[in-house]
Structure formats: structure tokens, C-alpha cells
Amino acid sequence: MKLDVVNLTKELVSYKSESLLTNVPVTRHVMGILKGLGFQVEQLRYVDKNGVNKLSIVARLGCGRGGLTLMSHDDVVPAKQEEGWKQDPYQVRQAGGRLYGRGVCDMKGPLAATLCAAARFKAADLKQPVFIVVTSDEEIQARGAWEIVNRSKLFRDASSGYGLICEPTKLGVVYAHKGSMSIRATASGRAAHTSTLKGKNANLDMIPFLVEMKKINDLVLTSKRYRNDEFTPPHSEWSIGINDHNMATNIYPVTSTCTINYRPMPGTSIEGLIERTKKAAKKHNIKVEVTRPGEPVYTDPTSAFVATSLKVSGTRKARTVPYGTDGLAYRVKMDNLVVLGPGDIAQAHIVDEWVEVDQLRKGVKLYERFIDHVCVLGKD
């Protein structure tokens, strides 16, 4: 099957697979391509908390375990033309050597590049298998990746091999990224007209809690304990959001909500910060929910796999990035992971998201070289 990365990117983008919507149609389209290429495909379905059907897949070409796994996701962040897009976000516009559209960079373009690279090979060519992973809900706490880690038989076979997370890195090798942690703190009040003095303002419990959260933010931005100089910036913010959901100032707010997001770095422990937050919440009668989608990804930059990735990609030095990927789930079972893909993450999630066509074509060639090196030649 002959595939063109530009045409395939356009096809994939045409499916409006925003994270709050279903990704099943676009994933079925990908499944059809993979089956046409001779891949065995494993489906992992689930229904998300909003009752929406989701689908992640793991596919294998060849036999056995290990080999090389190319990892992508097919959900995208929302986009509306009225936000300022020059065209329908789900109809790709090609101009000036670029593709414009929601997901061309993050990450339906890189996904298309993996499929086009795989199309060059037959199972009979391979000494080791090629796996392709496509997840749902990467943009929402990596739910699809966790389904794969917890349920997939094929991923169990893949986990002893090498993993390329194909997020955009401008084709540079990334050996580490931050993890993810979020907290939702809720204070409760009692409704009444403020003139009666008979209500309870939920914000009054939240205010002293926020003071403590400010202290934690100051701590994580200054303490060496939460610093990692391999990253730029070397600290992560204790990012605080607040909302009392109140529609009018003459009504006592019944609910006050504080959301906190933090990206822990390799080598740091945040257990003490979580306990400190819980203690402050208990003191001020606030309910706290902690969600931890995953820990940081870290592959030793002196490891054989990073050295191989640098050699195959023609990159001089591996680096870190401050954002996260599905790797925060994969790392539980797979030791050899790097992030390596076409495009620039700075173009992701923006109005008129774009990717250079040249990056996508180079991505195809790079993934072909990886498959050839690891799976055809059987090299480390």
C-alpha cells in the first residue's frame, strides 16, 4: 500500500476527534490502513466519564517481542473557526510549504508519518516486530495510554523493546519530560441573599487555604529540592486557579473551587507537598481530590538507546522538554523511551496550527531508518 504523508494527514484531520468527542471513526480509519499493511490490530475500547465511546489500538507487524514501537494519539484539543481560523480547522489548508489545521502538528501529522514509514516494510523483511500504538484522550490525563498499559497483550510484547513517542520535537531526541499532578479543592457555603447575613460565603474558607497554596508555589519555585537543571525552566509552577461559580455579588457563593496543576520533574518527590495541601484543606474544612496521571519520563541520556536515537536521527545532543506525553503511562512497563517527531510543539494548540511539509517528509524517512535499523537489521 502506497501512502502519501500530506494526503494522509489531510484525511486524519478531517475527523473531528476532539478529546470530549469520540475518536472511534478516525481510529477505525487508521485500523483499516494498518490491516491493509498486514498488521495484527488489538482494540481497547472504553467509555469515558461523560459516556463517550473511545478507542485505542496496538498493532504489530511481524512476530515476537521487543523491536520498535511508534506511539501516537489521535485526539485533538478543540478548535472553532470563530476563534480566528482562516479556514475550517478540520479542512487542511496547504500554503507556503505548510499544512494548517487542528492536529496537523499535534499529532495527526506525526501519526501519518509513522503509517507512511511502516508502509514500506513487509513482515517477511523483519527480524524484530514493528508496533504502532494510537491512543485516545492523550490530552485528558493520558487515559487511552493507561488503558493500553493496563490491558493490552500486544503492548506487553512490545514493552521489552524500544519506544518512540512521536510527538513534535523538530526531529530532535528528547530523553526526559515532566510528569503530571492535579488537585481540585472545594469549599462549601450556604445560599442566601447577602443582605440577610444568613448565608455562608464559601470563599471565606478558601482564602486561608489559598494563602498556604501561595507559600507552596513560592517554595517549588525557589527550593533546590524541586529544581532540576536538566530542564528549562528548571522549576515547575504550583499553578493555582480559582472560581466561586457565583452569578451575582448579592448572593453568598455556595461553592468555591481551587484547581492546582503541577509538573513534577525526574528526581523530585512531591509527596510532602500533597500531604501539606491535604493538611491545609482539613484545617479549613475543604474537600480535596488528587489526580496523578503519571510520573516523569526519564531515559538515561548516556544509555545505548539514546545513543542509537542520536545516531539514526543525526542529532548531536539529546534534550529535555517541559511538557508531557503518553509516556508518563508507558514508562511503567517500558524502560527505553524517547520522544522524537516532526513539527514544533510551539505550533500545537494554537489558532491556525501548522506543520512544515518538509518536517513530515523527513519524519517519514527518519521512522523508516529506525525500522530498518532495529527491526530489519536487528541492531541495538
Question: In this predicted model, what pLDDT tens digit does every residue of 121-179 receive, in sequence order?
Answer: 999 999 999 999 999 999 999 999 999 999 999 999 999 999 999 999 999 999 999 99
CA distance 342 to 334: 22
Show the cell assigned to 275.
500531604
- pLDDT for 91 equals 98
Contact in structure between 165 and 270 (CB atoms under 8 Å): no
Among 275, 294, 313, give the residue marking a domain's end. 294
% of the chain exceeding 70 in pLDDT: 100
85 DSSP 8-state letter: -
Whether the CB-CB separation of 185 and 257 falls below 8 Å is answered with yes
Closest CA to 174 of 263, 266, 249, 246: 266
CATH number at residue 208: 3.30.70.360
Mean of pLDDT over the chain: 97
Distance, in Å, from the CA atom of 46 to the CA atom of 33, rounded to the nearest integer, reads 22
Statement: the pTM of the whole predicted model exceeds 0.85:
yes
CA torsion through residues 59, 64, 70, 76, sign: positive
> Which tens digit of pLDDT belongs to each residue from 233-242?
999 999 999 9
> What pLDDT, on the 0 to 100 scale, is given for residue 111?
98
Q: How many domains does the chain have?
A: 2
Do 95 and 210 lie in one domain? The reply is no
Q: Are residues 250 and 355 located together in one domain of the fold? A: no
Please write the tens of the pLDDT for every residue from 342-361.
999 999 999 999 999 999 99
- Torsion of Cα atoms, 287 then 293 then 298 then 304, to 10°: 160
Instruction: Tell me: do 124 and 139 sit in the same domain.
Output: yes
At 262, give phi and psi (nearest 5°): -140, 140
Match 530523553 to its residue by C-alpha cell. Answer: 175
Using alpha carbons, select from 26, 54, 196 the residue that is nearest to residue 112.
26
Q: Residue 137: beta bridge partners?
A: none
> In angstroms, how far is CA 71 from the centroid of its own chain?
11
167 and 283 in one domain? no
Q: Which of 137, 146, 155 is nearest to 23 (CA)?
A: 137
**CATH code (residue 116):** 3.40.630.10
pLDDT of 30-56, one tens digit each? 999 999 999 999 999 999 999 999 999
Round to whole Å and give the CA distance between 71 and 273. Answer: 32
Asked if 9 contacts 360 with a C-beta cutoff of 8 angstroms, the reply is yes
pLDDT bin (cut points 50, 70, 90) of residue 247 is: confident
Confidence of residue 2 (pLDDT cuts 50, 70, 90): confident
Predicted local distance difference test score (pLDDT) of residue 46: 98
Domain match, 126 and 199 both: no
Domain containing 228 equals: 180-294
Q: Say whether both 114 and 254 belong to one domain.
A: no
Residue 347 per-residue DSSP state = G
Same domain, 133 and 33: yes
**pLDDT digits 0-9 by tens, 284-329:** 999 999 999 999 999 999 999 999 999 999 999 999 999 899 999 9
